[in-house]
Chains A and B, each alone.
Chain A
Amino acid sequence: MAVKEYIHVENVNDAIDLISDTTKINQFIAGGVGIAAQRKDGFLDCDQLIDISRISELQSEEKVSFEGKSYLKLGSVLSLTQISQSEYVQNDFPFFARVLVESSDPARRNAYTLGGRLATKIPVGMLLPALCALDAVVDVLKNGISNKISVVDWLSSEIFEEPYLITAVLIPYQSKINYSILDVKRRNYPGEIVAGVLVTTRETSSKLIENIKIFGSVDKYGLVSFSNISEFLNGKNISSELVRQAVELADQQITNKWGNDEDAQYRKRVLTALVSRCLNQVLL
Chain B
Amino acid sequence: MMRIKFNLNGKSVEPEVHADQTLLNLLRDSLGMIGVKEGCSMGECGTCSILVNGELRKSCIMLAPQVDGCDVVTIEGIALEDGSPNDLQQAFLDHGSVQCGYCTPGMVIASEAILLHNPSPTREQIRQGISGNLCRCTGYQQIIGAIEETAKKRQITVEEK
Instruction: Tell me if A5 and B56 are in contact (CB < 8 A).
Output: no
Give the residue of B2, B49, B128 whose beta carbon is less than 8 angstroms from that of A6. B2
Report yes or no: B55 in contact with A51, Cβ–Cβ below 8 A. no
Q: Are B60 and A107 in contact (CB under 8 A)?
A: no
User: What's the nearest-Cβ distance from chain B to residue A210, in Å?
Assistant: 36
* List of B residues within 8 angstroms of A190 by Cβ: 131-132
A4 to B1, CA, bound (A): 8
Q: Mark B95-127, 1 if CB is under 8 A from A, else 0.
A: 000000000000000100100000000000000
Measured CA separation A40–B134 after assembly (Å): 20
Residues of B within 8 A of A (CB): 2, 18-20, 22, 41-44, 46, 49, 55-58, 60-63, 65-66, 68, 110, 113, 128-129, 131-134
Given contacts A105-B132, A188-B134, contact A6 B19 (CB under 8 A): yes
- A32 lies within 8 A of chain B by Cβ: yes
Residues of B within 8 A of A6 (CB): 2, 19-20, 63, 65
B19 touches A3 (CB 8 A): yes
Shortest CB-to-CB span from B57 to chain A, Å, is 5
> What is the interface residue range for chain A against chain B?
20 to 34
Most A CB atoms within 10 A — which of B22, B66, B134?
B66
Type the 1/0 row for A13-30, where 1 means its CB is closer than 8 Å to any CB of B: 000000000000000010
B20–A107 CB distance below 8 A = no
Among B19, B46, B128, the residue within 8 A (CB) of A4 is: B19
- Residues of B with C-beta under 8 A to A40: 41-42
Beyond A37-B61, A107-B57, 12 extra complex contacts between A and B, CB < 8 Å = A2-B18, A3-B20, A6-B2, A6-B20, A33-B61, A36-B63, A104-B132, A105-B133, A106-B56, A106-B131, A107-B110, A108-B132
Contacts of B49 in A (CB 8 A): 107
Question: For chain A, what secondary structure do more than half of its interface residues adopt (helix, strand, loop), or is it mixed?
Answer: mixed
Chain A residue with the shortest CB-CB distance to B134: A188
Contact call B20/A49, Cβ cutoff below 8 A: yes
List, in ascending order, chain A residues with CB within 8 A of B43's CB. 33, 36, 107-108, 111
Q: Give the Cβ gap from B155 to chain A, nearest Cβ, in Å.
A: 21
Across-interface contacts of A2 in B (CB, < 8 A): 18-20
Nearest neighbor of A33 in chain B, beta-carbon distance: B61
Whether B110 contacts A36 by the Cβ 8 Å rule is no
Q: Which A residues, 87 to 138, have Cβ-Cβ distances below 8 Å to chain B?
A: 104-108, 110-111
Contact with B along A185-215 (1 / 0, CB 8 A): 0001110000000000000000000000000
Q: Does A236 interact with chain B (Cβ within 8 Å)? A: no
Given contacts A32-B63, A51-B66, contact A106 B128 (CB under 8 A): yes
User: Are A8 and B60 touching (Cβ within 8 A)?
Assistant: no
A111 touches B62 (CB 8 A): yes
Complex Cα–Cα for A53 and B65 (A): 12
